[in-house]
Structure 1
Amino acid sequence: MAGRKINPFLKLALELGPILLFFVLFGRLKDQTFRIAGGEYSGFIVTTAVFVVLIIATTGILWRLTGRLSRMQLMTLVLVVVMGGLSVWLNDERFIKMKPTFLYLAFGAILGFGLLRGKSYLSAVMEEVVPMTAEGWMILTRRMTAFFFALAVANEAVWRLMSTEAWVNFKTFGLTAALFLFILSQGRLFETYAAEPVEKD
Structure 2
Amino acid sequence: MEESVFERDPSDPAHKEVNPLLKLALELGPLMVFFFANARGEWLIERFPVLANIGEPIFIATALFMAATAIALSVSWILIRSLPIMPLISGIVVLVFGALTLWLHNDTFIKMKPTIVNTLFGVILLGGLYFGKSLLGYVFDSAFKLNAEGWRKLTMRWGIFFLFLAVLNEVIWRSFSTDFWVAFKVWGTMPITLLFTFAQMPLVMKYSLEQETPEKAASKDK
1:191 aligns with 2:205: yes
Give the whole-Å Cα distance in 2 for the aligned partners of 1:132 and 1:195.
5
Partner residue in 2 for 1:9: 21
1:20 aligns with 2:32: yes
SS in 1 for 2:55: strand
1:68 aligns with 2:109: no
Give the whole-Å Cα distance in 2 for the aligned partners of 1:5 and 1:148.
27
Partner residue in 2 for 1:42: 56
Give the whole-Å Cα distance in 1 for the aligned partners of 2:101 and 2:148.
42
Q: Name stretches of at least 5 consecutive residues in structure 1 with no aligned partner.
A: none
Q: Name stretches of at least 5 consecutive residues in structure 2 with no aligned partner.
A: 9-14, 46-50, 213-222
Q: Deviations 1:153-178 (Å, cap 9, x if unpaired)?
A: 00000000101111001111211111
Deviation at 1:187, TM superposition (A): 2.4
> Is contact 2:63–2:98 with CA below 8 Å preserved after alignment?
yes
Q: Which structure 2 residues correspond to residues 1-201 of structure 1 after superposition, within 5 A? A: 2=8, 3-29=15-41, 35-36=52-53, 41-196=55-210
SS in 1 for 2:40: helix
Question: Given the superposition, is the C-alpha separation of residues 24 and 117 from structure 1 closer, same or farther in structure 2, using an over 3 Å criterion?
Answer: same
> Is contact 2:85–2:139 with CA below 8 Å preserved after alignment?
no
Q: Deviations 1:179-200 (Å, cap 9, x if unpaired)?
A: 11111112221222221469xx
Give the whole-Å Cα distance in 2 for the aligned partners of 1:63 and 1:144.
26
Give the whole-Å Cα distance in 1 for the aligned partners of 2:83 and 2:175.
35
Question: Given the superposition, is the C-alpha separation of residues 135 and 187 from structure 1 closer, same or farther in structure 2, using an over 3 Å criterion?
Answer: same
> Is contact 1:30–1:44 with CA below 8 Å preserved after alignment?
no
SS in 2 for 1:41: coil
Deviation at 1:30, TM superposition (A): 6.2
Q: TM-score, normalised to structure 2's length?
A: 0.82
Percent pairwise identity: 38
Kindly tell me the number of residue pairs found equivalent between the two proteins: 196
Q: TM-score, normalised to structure 1's length?
A: 0.90
> Is contact 1:112–1:145 with CA below 8 Å preserved after alignment?
yes
Q: Deviations 1:13-55 (Å, cap 9, x if unpaired)?
A: 122111112111211116998642xxx7211111111111111
Give the whole-Å Cα distance in 1 for the aligned partners of 2:191 and 2:52.
36
Runs of 4+ in 1 over 6 A off after TM superposition: 30-34
Partner residue in 1 for 2:11: none
Give the whole-Å Cα distance in 2 for the aligned partners of 1:161 and 1:31.
27
